[in-house]
Amino acid sequence: MKTRWILSVLSIFTLSLAYGDFGTAGRAMAQYDQSYDSWEQRFTYTQDDETRLQLLKTRPEARRTTQTIIKSIGTQLNDPQSLRAIAWIYANDSQSLNNPKAPETGKAIRSALMRSHFNQAGAGDLCITISQNFSPLDLPFLEKVAKQASNEIEQGLASLSVSVALSSLGSDSELVAKRLEYLRTAIKTIPTEKQVNGKKVTDIISDQLYVIRFLSKGRKAPDFAGKDVTGAPISLTSAKGKVTALVFWSAKDVSKPSQLEFLQSMQSRLSKVGGEMIGIYTGELGTLRQKLADREATWKNAFDGSGEITKQFRISQTPAVFLLDKTGKIHSIGEPNTLINLSIQALADSTE
């Protein structure tokens, strides 16, 4: 299930009984959650990629619910009751908090968090949600909760959240050391049975330690054992000595011509410098075969129907790119972008 803030039945009931605008906000969230759960069930049990692409167009729009919430309680964001609604927005519609064309919502919510909610019960759980939809604008709140929350468990959850958040800002030695420091606090203070958004916190900690040890910049990328659509083996061993882009993708990631063209341009750039692009396809096998037959995907691809390779590289969303230097060490991690294309030439020119 999509990682998001799951309001308990009791929480919804409490909000809907509350007088005034909190009741309106509670009902709007409950209606969206019901609609999303129904849509998600249809999407999960649909195996055909083309049908999935059509279903994506009918996905319930969280932005309207956010607008209802802000209209209802926008003047009461400092009220303790508003924390549930704020958490809902972070989990379901973080884009509204980071919209440069309409920054007022994000500014108002972040201001209320820093002023009124950093030591409130539930702040640690909110921090976990924020870290999974992270913007650098949220780092001050995460750090404040880690230092000033009402109890050690809340502080531990916030410390874990800071560590997760910092992973998106780079992997130089100072950042890694800081992440490890926050992880130590989390390990000491969070009960092993604690769960947030249906996931055990100990699993999040384990993932972070794995990423630091094996998937950080400068680390040699772990090899994998995959197969292409014909069953022939694919691994990083075949790209030894080459600048390599390991691209995790599916049909939904190239639904727009510009997205597909960018991946094609990356593959072309790699070919020109003697590098290699290896795709890890996470969609339906039949769709991958069709894209290969139509020459839309012109690079080598491993089919990851089981999700094992995706899990090995701790991929939470696609598209995602691991750019490796000639020695197989990780140079950068992120979405396909112009910076990666520029880095390809720089790595190819490197004599190290």
Measured CA to CA, the distance from residue 279 to residue 249 in angstroms comes to 7
Q: How confident is the model at residue 17 (pLDDT cuts 50, 70, 90)?
A: very low
Q: For domain 226-349, give the CATH number.
A: 3.40.30.10
**Residues facing 301 on adjacent strands:** 279
What pLDDT is attached to residue 160?
Answer: 96
Check whether 26 has a pLDDT greater than 90: yes
- pTM here is 0.78
How would you classify the pairing of strands 276-281 and 300-303?
Answer: parallel
What pLDDT is attached to residue 44?
Answer: 85
Check whether 66 has a pLDDT greater than 60: yes
DSSP conformational letter for 220: B
Q: Dump pLDDT digits (tens) for 282-303.
A: 988 888 999 999 998 989 999 9
**Distance from the Cα of residue 173 to its chain's centroid:** 23
Task: Return mean pLDDT, the chain.
Answer: 88
DSSP conformational letter for 113: I
Q: DSSP letter string over 160-189? A: HHHHHHHGGG---HHHHHHHHHHHHHHHHH
Domain span(s) for CATH 3.40.30.10 in the chain: 226-349
Measured CA to CA, the distance from residue 127 to residue 4 in angstroms comes to 12
3-state secondary structure of 309: helix
Smallest CA-to-CA distance from 81 within 122, 38, 114, 127 is with: 122
Measured CA to CA, the distance from residue 29 to residue 60 in angstroms comes to 12
**Distance from the Cα of residue 300 to its chain's centroid:** 25
What pLDDT is attached to residue 10?
Answer: 36
